Amino acid sequence: MNWPMVAFVVLGGITVYSGWRVATAPLVTHAALFLAVTFAGVGGLFFLLQADFLAAVQLLLYAGAVMTVVIFAIMLSEMKDIEEPRPRGWLGALRSPSLGALPFIGAVLLFAVMLVVYLRGAPALPVTPLPAPTNSTVFIAGALFKIYALPFEVASVLLLAAMIGAIILTRVEGGRRR
Amino acid sequence: MDFGAVWPEIILAGVGMLLVLLDPFVGAKRQRALGYLAVGGIVAAGIATLFEPRTGEVALAGMVILDPLSLFFRLLFLSAALLVTLFSFGFLQERDQDVGEFMALLCFATTGAMVMAISWDIISLYVGLELLSISSYILVAFLRDERRSHEAGLKYLLNGALASALLLFGLSLIYGLTGTTAIPVLGRQLAAALGHPYGGIVWLAVGLVLAALAFKIAAAPFHLWAPDAYEGAPTPVTGYLMVVAESAGFAALIRLVSTGMGPLSTEWGIWLAGLAILTMTVGNVTALWQQNIKRMLAYSSVAQVGYILAGIAVATRGGVGSTLFYLIAYLFSTLGCFAVIIALSARGHGEQIADYAGLGRRRPWLAGLLTLFFASYVGIPATAGFMGKLGLIGAAIHGDMAWLAVGIAVNSAISIGYYWSVARTMWIDPVPEAAGAIRASAGGSISLVLSAVGVVLLGLVPQMFFHLSQWASAGVIR
């Protein structure tokens, strides 16, 4: 048991547990906070993989910006906390998000798969992995603006469409023109 | 970086942005001008498409390929977008909706579909798919005064997001197994990865990708969102989704599965064939009970998706060719049906099948054309659908899947039931007392006539289109 291994198990465990709690927390605000923990955990996993740029982006954008927007959305929509109906019968109890066994089993299975792949993965990958770039920021910039320039541009159109859509759908005047 | 390979997409997205930009400065009276601008943009993109190379050259660092299939799908999507634009004018103005925003989203969605079809890399394919999907979610929820439009948009969003997640999960597994995102190399690498201790993950990845694309094309048992979303969406959008979004799903299937996963075709061929039979049967049998015409057409489109899947399941060049031919036939039949429904809904005509009573006597032309499009759906000789089904049945028999051919034939017979019940209501039932006047808009009439001409041309002189679709499918199976 070496240190990266311990770090992986701890971070993976935190990520999986908080991911499960996102789905099962009875309060929306709690779910949002657990989501922040999940994002941070994934950022930590990126660090372990020596993808420092991705880790920084994950922390800044997801744990930072995206979480802020999520909390804003909860505040602005005055969302009432989700009232979960009492589960009925043994099938209901099995499926119920916070009490049931199925979501828990799913989370444990996912964790087990991750662990097995990690334990057995290193020597037997089907393809030889790319040589780790010494400066991943430069590497990613090259990939983004040279190789993947088209998807990058299309993504900007996508964001524009999503923004216009958000404005159209939330405009208050109610569909009539001026 | 030379973006010359994607001129049609640049033009279309540019016109979309221009529409949003001009929209605030154009008064409510002149909204039609924005529609004409969208029509002009679509036509310009079509002309640009004709000037693009079609020799199979790979451009933009391996992101896109300009082969006959790219040309085919670009023109297919642009034709569908043109017909939808034409019959949207009247519909939007009738309901006092914003034409500019609607047309802009339509342009963005079509751009996404075109990017999907020309993709030669899973990243550009996925981004194109998301552009199409997100624009479509907004279009479905566009009628903000109507509760069911909102509900439909939300259902489409949730199901679409799930499908996107499945697709991403599958694609990331594929990248992990092969170390590449380039479609032409995927298949060989995946086949090589099969012999590996983790070989089983290959089937997990392929299964996830197939399930996600089955969601997108609304194939059973992943079709449950479709009837609600299609019924609640604004009627022109329903037609658009059935034709463009589903054809784009098929473009992704052909690129990613037929070409990308070609070496594994003996396995996924059987899976897709089972999916095809299930889809056509579920679609046709459920359609028999529908009372709302949009809902009935939604189930009928599920059934059509089943037929089209058969062409991909056989994994031969002829199969893909007949799939492409059927997609043209499906475009004209579907958009024709929706042009009629929109013309009827203009004066508050209901969407229930019972509301069509006596239409044959009130508007014989509209009723006659709707009957023609239904005949094409069933596959009556001398219509587009007949030649299309003939091609698919032939491909199934040549591909050693005769049971699939039997499935198509049996299902076509079942489908007569619900098409006939509408036809009987139109031609035989008496005219109701309170029937109002019906008047089709100019744009609607144009797209109606174009669709009818398309259906008849494909049925009577199919040779040209057969050659086109065979030519377009040339490089698919490697």
Quickly list DSSP for B294-314: HHHHHHHHHHHHHHHHHHHHT
Exposed e or buried b per residue across B419-436, where buried means at least 16 C-beta atoms within 10 angstroms of its C-beta: beebbebbbeeeeeeeee
Q: Evaluate whether residue B301 is within a structural domain.
A: yes
Three-state SS for B238? helix
Q: How many angstroms separate the Cα of B251 from the Cα of each of A3, B77, B416?
A: 47, 11, 29
Q: Does B113 map to a domain?
A: no
Question: Any CB–CB contact under 8 A between A1 and chain B?
Answer: no
The residues in B 213-252 lying below 8 A from A, measured between CB atoms, are none
pTM: predicted TM-score of the whole model, two decimal places: 0.90
Whether B119 contacts B128, CB under 8 Å: yes
**ipTM of model:** 0.91
Q: Which of B23, B34, B63, B203 to mutate to test the interface with A (most CBs of A within 10 A)?
A: B63
Is there a contact between A124 and B196 if contact means CB atoms under 8 Å apart?
yes
Residue B357 lies in a domain: yes
Q: Which two tokens stand for residue A92?
A: 């209901």
The answer to whether residue B48 is domain-embedded is: no
- Are B292 and B353 in contact by the 8 Å Cβ rule? The answer is yes
Residue B463 lies in a domain: yes
Share of chain B above pLDDT 70, in %: 97
What are the structural domains of chain A? 3-83+91-147 (1.20.120.1200)
Task: Answer whether B101 touches A (CB < 8 Å).
Answer: yes
Alpha helices in chain A (DSSP H): 3-24, 28-48, 52-57, 67-76, 89-95, 101-121, 136-142, 149-170
Neighbours of B236 (CB within 10 A): 29
Residue B347 phi/psi, 5-degree rounding, is -105, 45
| Cα Dmax for chain B | 73
For residue A161, what is the nearest residue in chain B, using CA coordinates?
B135
Tokens of B279: 């889809």
Our CA dihedral for A94, A96, A100, A105, rounded to 10 degrees, sits at 90
Identify all chain A residues contacting B9, using CB atoms and an 8 Å cutoff. 154
- At A178, is the pLDDT very low, low, confident or very high (cuts 50, 70, 90)? very low
Using a CB–CB cutoff of 8 Å, tell me whether A120 touches chain B.
yes
Nearest-angstrom CA–CA distance, B51 and B47? 7
Full pLDDT tens readout for chain B, 478 residues:
688 899 999 999 999 999 999 998 988 788 889 999 999 999 999 999 999 998 889 999 899 999 999 999 999 999 999 999 998 988 888 888 888 999 999 999 999 999 999 999 999 999 999 999 999 999 999 987 888 899 999 999 999 999 999 999 899 989 888 888 999 999 888 888 887 777 778 888 899 999 999 999 999 899 999 999 999 999 999 999 999 999 999 999 999 999 999 899 989 999 999 999 999 999 999 999 999 999 999 999 999 999 999 999 999 999 999 999 999 999 999 999 999 998 888 666 678 888 888 888 888 898 999 999 999 999 999 999 999 999 999 999 998 899 999 999 999 999 999 999 999 999 988 887 666 666 677 888 899 999 999 999 999 999 999 999 999 998 888 7
Rounded Cα distance between A138 and B466, Å, is 49
B332 contacts B376 by C-beta, under 8 angstroms: yes
Distance, in Å, from the CA atom of B362 to the CA atom of A47, rounded to the nearest integer, reads: 71
**Quick check: B370 contacting A, CB < 8 Å?**
no
Kindly state the average pLDDT of the residues A67-90: 72
Interface test with B, best of A77, A146, A157, A159 (most B CBs within 10 A): A157
Give the model's pLDDT for residue A99: 59
Is A164 close to B130, i.e. CB distance below 8 A?
Answer: no
For residue B104, is it within any domain? no
* Structural domain of B293: 262-478
| Sequence letter at residue B64 | V
Q: Does residue A123 have a cis bond before it (omega within 30 degrees)?
A: no
Residues in chain A: 178
Residue among B97, B138, B198 whose CB faces A175 most closely: B97
In a domain, B362, yes or no: yes
If one counts every other C-beta atom within 10 angstroms of the C-beta of residue B390, the result is 16
Is A151 within 8 Å of chain B by CB? yes
Spatial separation of the C-alpha atoms in residues B169 and B126, rounded to whole Å: 12
For chain B, say whether A123 makes contact (Cβ under 8 Å).
Answer: no
Window 144-173 of B, Cβ < 8 Å to A:
144-145, 153
Put simply, the answer to whether A154 touches B197 (Cβ < 8 Å) is no
Position with higher pLDDT, A83 vs B402: B402
What local confidence, expressed as pLDDT, does residue A103 receive? Answer: 67
Flag whether B127 is in a domain.
Answer: no
pLDDT of residue B306: 95
Pairs across A and B, CB distance < 8 A: 113
Domain count, chain B: 1
Residues 257-286 of B with CB under 8 A from A: none
Find, among B273, B285, B347, B279, the residue nearest to B310 by Cα: B273
